[in-house]
Amino acid sequence: MTENSPILEVKNLKKYFPIEKGILRRVVGNVKAVDDLSFHIHAGKTLGLVGESGSGKTTVGHCVIRAYDITDGEIIFRPNDKDVELGHLSRKELRPYRKHMQMIFQDPYSSLDPRKTVFDIISEPLRINKTHSGKALENRVRELLELVGLEVKYMKRYPHAFSGGQRQRLGIARALALNPKVIICDEAVSALDVSVQAQIINLLVDLQKEFGLTYLFIAHDLSVIEHISDEVMVMYVGRVMEYADTQELFRNPKHPYTEALMKSIPIPDPDRPLLDEDEVVGELPDPANPPTGCYFHPRCKYAQQICREKTPPLMQVGDNHTSACHFADELELQGLII
């Protein structure tokens, strides 16, 4: 492995869900949940994946940890010295790599088994992988609880006794149990109140520094994405619209969808209201029946004839900055960081 090889590299990822009809379940079409997506993350960094519901963010996460079989593409993972292509490995072949990649979920209520104690929940990955047992197992669970800021005396309690923020800490402790390299955070702070959300974001940042963790951080909230990510990828109906370093993206967006998202965020300052002229009309298209050309064109205020006809390729528009817009170079779009 060279110094600059990313720990995770996804190339041309596609995940199609078939649409079936009739009693014979004839396949009549596909929902292209993820359509030709490429990205990479360097060790110790955070890639933010942002988009509205139905944009395919979660599907990307599920493909990367191979909870889904992928339709096409490559998922190259470099947990140690050599490259492994995870995309087409069988369940059995995947086993040794699973422990390097973990996931934290959005809903801290449904992602913890209510009938298991905290000890059972956090020790489960350790027991399954037979890394610890007996006293060592208990010590490891203790250590993990302390890491995420929970008191060790809670070990025998059940999840219902914890608040949303504490449950999310349990989910993080479980994800950390096997010393993973990559953690996929799927809307990990979305369900939390802002004061608690800030606690969890700080915890994730601290853990990243301490263990050199790599995050794929999936969220719909641009302010959270901006805060935590080194790079950001903006998705819309399964496709990448824009991909850039965080500061660059928020200062100098090169895709009308990115600008539209930024201008739709209500800022807690009465002097910066949402402006009527920034209204994004319409709704997300049905992913089973997306529009022709650029998927965003029916809602885009800059759309021209070519946008209706031709799908714009992802083009280089700056240093480590790509955009899938025909007019990326011409438009003068406004960023959020001022």
Using H for helix, E for strand and C for coil, what is the string for 9-30? EEEEEEEEEEEEECCCCEEEEE
Task: Using CB under 8 A, pick the residue from 224, 233, 237, 300 that binds another protein.
Answer: 224
270 contacts another protein (rule: CB under 8 A): yes
Query: What is the distance between the alpha carbons of residues 269 and 267, in angstroms, rounded to a whole number?
Result: 5
Q: Interacting stretch for another protein, rule CB under 8 A, among 8-16, 40-48, 150-158, 263-271?
A: 263-271
Q: Between residues 24 and 281, which has the closer beta carbon with respect to another protein?
A: 281
Per DSSP, the residues of 312-325 read PPPEEEETTEEE--
Q: Between residues 77 and 257, which has the closer beta carbon with respect to another protein?
A: 257
Please provide residue 63's backbone torsions phi and psi, each rounded to the nearest 5 degrees: -70, -40
Task: Using CB under 8 A, pick the residue from 77, 250, 295, 327 that binds another protein.
Answer: 250
- Residues contacting another protein: total by CB under 8 A: 47
201 contacts another protein (rule: CB under 8 A): yes
Beta-carbon count within 10 A of 120 CB: 15
CA distances from residue 135 to 146, 147, 172, 175, 337 in whole angstroms, order as listed: 17, 18, 22, 21, 51
Footprint on residues 37-96 left by another protein (CB under 8 A): 52-53
Q: In what order do the strands lie in the sheet with 26-41?
A: 26-41, 8-21, 72-77, 84-85
Q: Between residues 34 and 262, which has the closer beta carbon with respect to another protein?
A: 262
265's tokens: 């965020």
The single-letter DSSP state of residue 42 is -
CA distances from residue 224 to 18, 52, 132, 211 in whole angstroms, order as listed: 33, 14, 35, 21
Task: Using CB under 8 A, pick the residue from 3, 81, 210, 276 that binds another protein.
Answer: 276
Closest to 182 (Cα-Cα) out of 106, 100, 122: 100
267 contacts another protein (rule: CB under 8 A): yes
Task: Using CB under 8 A, pick the residue from 94, 205, 315, 331 that binds another protein.
Answer: 205
Per DSSP, the residues of 128-146 read HTT---HHHHHHHHHHHHH
Q: Between residues 105 and 296, which has the closer beta carbon with respect to another protein?
A: 296
Q: Between residues 136 and 267, which has the closer beta carbon with respect to another protein?
A: 267
Q: Interacting stretch for another protein, rule CB under 8 A, among 72-80, 88-96, 135-143, 215-223?
A: 215-223
Q: Interacting stretch for another protein, rule CB under 8 A, among 94-102, 131-139, 160-168, 321-329?
A: 160-168
Q: Interacting stretch for another protein, rule CB under 8 A, among 26-34, 63-71, 113-121, 260-268?
A: 260-268
Strand duo 239-245 + 321-323: pairing? antiparallel
337 contacts another protein (rule: CB under 8 A): yes
292 contacts another protein (rule: CB under 8 A): no
Q: Between residues 264 and 316, which has the closer beta carbon with respect to another protein?
A: 264
Question: Rule CB under 8 A: which residues touch another protein?
Answer: 52-53, 163-166, 193-199, 201-202, 205, 220, 222-224, 226-227, 247, 250, 260-261, 263-270, 272-274, 276, 278-281, 283-284, 299, 336-337
